[in-house]
A and B are shown apart, each in its own frame.
Chain A
Amino acid sequence: MNLLWDWLSDPANWDGPYGIPVRVVEHLGYSAVTLVLAALIGIPLGLWIGHTGRGRVLVVNLVNGMRSVPTLGLLFVAVLVVGPLLGGDIAFLVPSIFVLVVLAVPPILAGAYAGVEGVDPGARDAARGMGMRPAEVLVRVEVPCAMPLIFSGLRSAALQVVATATLAASVSLGGLGRFLIDGQAYRDYGQMAGGALLVAALAMLVDLVFAGVQRLVVSPGLSPVRATRRDRRRQPTGVLDAAVAHQT
């Protein structure tokens, strides 16, 4: 405890090109790039599968399969395969981001898919019956109604990515993982504990930011607290929902 406090309160650790603020920014950078890429892949794919009902089996297997991929192992393989083709930091950055994206896509995909699939069939039927084209049904009804679960997928992905982005340091990159790797190398347990604490704090902070955005973006009509009468939205159940819940 003392070691941890000494390390955190040492002004030297908060300054310079290897200080905590720089590492936090690096860490957030990796996480942000990863989440944007994963969302660009996972959300459209999930919406499409949920809307058309095609490829459900793919989602189930992908989500469960991806969770059993050893992240660190995949990172080393990726560095070995991709690294020689690129030069400098890029040779490590690309594989790191790739591995993190692989980690982040399944919860985002599952959230978007389950969200769209769980939309009240009556609302969807009414939307078609009033003359909305398929794209309008998706954009005006399905996506807004799926928002709570899209966010739940994004938030669990964000938590995982922020926590796992530490492994970038194991292939010589920056981020908060540096404190863990370096601390272990120098047997500086204060630094290790401090790094771990910062990662946890950052993860929670990111989740808090997402929660705030969610409150702004998701319609109050979808919040279950205000559902005083019977809740009209069918709650998605089954393996995907379990997957999302498990990863949160």
Chain B
Amino acid sequence: MISFTDVTKVYPGGTTAVGGLSLVAPTGKITVLVGPSGCGKTTSLRMINRMIEPTSGTIEIDGRDTATLDPNELRRGIGYVIQSGGLFPHRTILDNVATVPLLLGWSRTRSRQVAAELLERVGLAPELGKRYPNQLSGGQQQRVGVARALAADPPVMLMDEPFSAVDPVVREQLQDEFLRLQAELGKTIVFVTHDIDEAIKLGDQVAVLRVGGVLVQLASPAKLLADPHDDFVADFLGRDRGYRGLAFAAAPELPLRDEPVVLLGSPVADGARIAAGDRWVLVVDEARSPLGWAEPEVLTGVIDRHHLHRGGTVARLGGSLRAALDAALSSPSRRGVLVDDDGSLVGTVRAQDVLAAIERRPEGAPA
């Protein structure tokens, strides 16, 4: 647990970067600091590992006041990931990742072994270990940055806009993998971003800061979307808050319908028969995984992959209301496809049924 108690940072010249910040980042959770530039989010982050010294107030990690610790010892026990990656250009990827273990005095063999395991863990091929940072893509460099921060298995990780320098597709990939990794590792993470969507996607709790380092609201993403504290937070969150909030609402029992299906490669005539007068028929593979919708009336021969309409999204049973609603809205047959955890079809749901479920939620409930 990291706790800020009335922490301020005033720079010489009188600029207040952080003004009386008090918040707690719980153990094993991701706390996201988000806000416009100049809101002191990076300064707050860097005060945790004393890259910046607070002007007043205390920061404690698991009850120990950081001001009483040796800054270098403190930093060796905290993972640190920055936007530019900050990899050492003169060292191989493997040696970059082994940096902190070596600083801690581990043997070279053990450090490299741990580094190799971590590369695999963040989804990098082992042979990349021998390369140098300038031979890697931006996304790969960020993965190395994360691996390097994890190398000595620190309980606390500080991440300063780690994914903002890569393109949107890679960013989303990195975010998903980061969440998967965190589900395995359960680190106490403080994460800084200026991107509210990223904050909502990654945060267990989100702290919205205003210029001058003032905490405006600290809440779960769902609560934030459902009940912004003031106009500033509401504006910062942007549009579609109601719809985005559904992502955090687990879908209750939805009235599922059995969906007639046809196997890929069947004759179109079979499809037409199974559709029984309906315009669309759902095509599945041998494992009953939905592949897409086909329109038997306009097809001839056998149902082939390139005949399939792929516009419909697929929702997982027990997933969020947003995913279920989106599956229904995006389906050409207006029937949203639901699958189980193995990806095989369990049935379809209509938008009106999802909406009815949304309507049935208690009024004003955040999630």
* Chain A interface (Cβ < 8 Å from any Cβ of B): 120-133, 136, 141, 144-145, 147, 219-222, 226-233
Contact = CB atoms under 8 A, between A and B. Distances in A.
5 contacts: A130-B100, A131-B76, A221-B90, A226-B134, A232-B133
A229 B136 contact: yes
B103 A131 contact: yes
Interface in B33-53: 49, 51
A120 B86 contact: yes
B74 interface: yes
Contacts of B145: 126
A122 B85 contact: yes
Interface string B136-154: 1110000001001000000
B100 A126 contact: no
Contacts of B138: 229-230
Given A131-B75, A222-B89, A126 B82 contact: yes
Contacts of B77: 131
A120 B89 contact: yes
Interface of B: 49, 51, 71-77, 80, 82-92, 99-100, 103, 132-138, 145, 148, 158
Given A130-B99, A221-B132, A226-B135, 20 more contacts: A120-B84, A122-B82, A122-B84, A123-B87, A124-B86, A125-B51, A129-B82, A131-B73, A131-B76, A131-B77, A131-B100, A132-B103, A144-B90, A145-B89, A147-B90, A219-B90, A221-B92, A222-B90, A230-B138, A232-B134
Contact of B88 (A127, A131, A226): A127
A218 to B, nearest CB: 8
Contacts of B86: 120, 122-127, 129
A219 B74 contact: no
A4 B270 CA distance: 99
Given A226-B132, A229-B136, A130 B89 contact: no
A79 to B, nearest CB: 44
B91 A221 contact: yes
Q: Top 4 nearest A-B pairs by Cβ distance?
A: A221-B132, A126-B86, A122-B84, A131-B76
A124 to B, nearest CB: 8
Given A226-B132, A229-B134, A219 B91 contact: yes
A227 B133 CA distance: 9
A147 B103 CA distance: 22
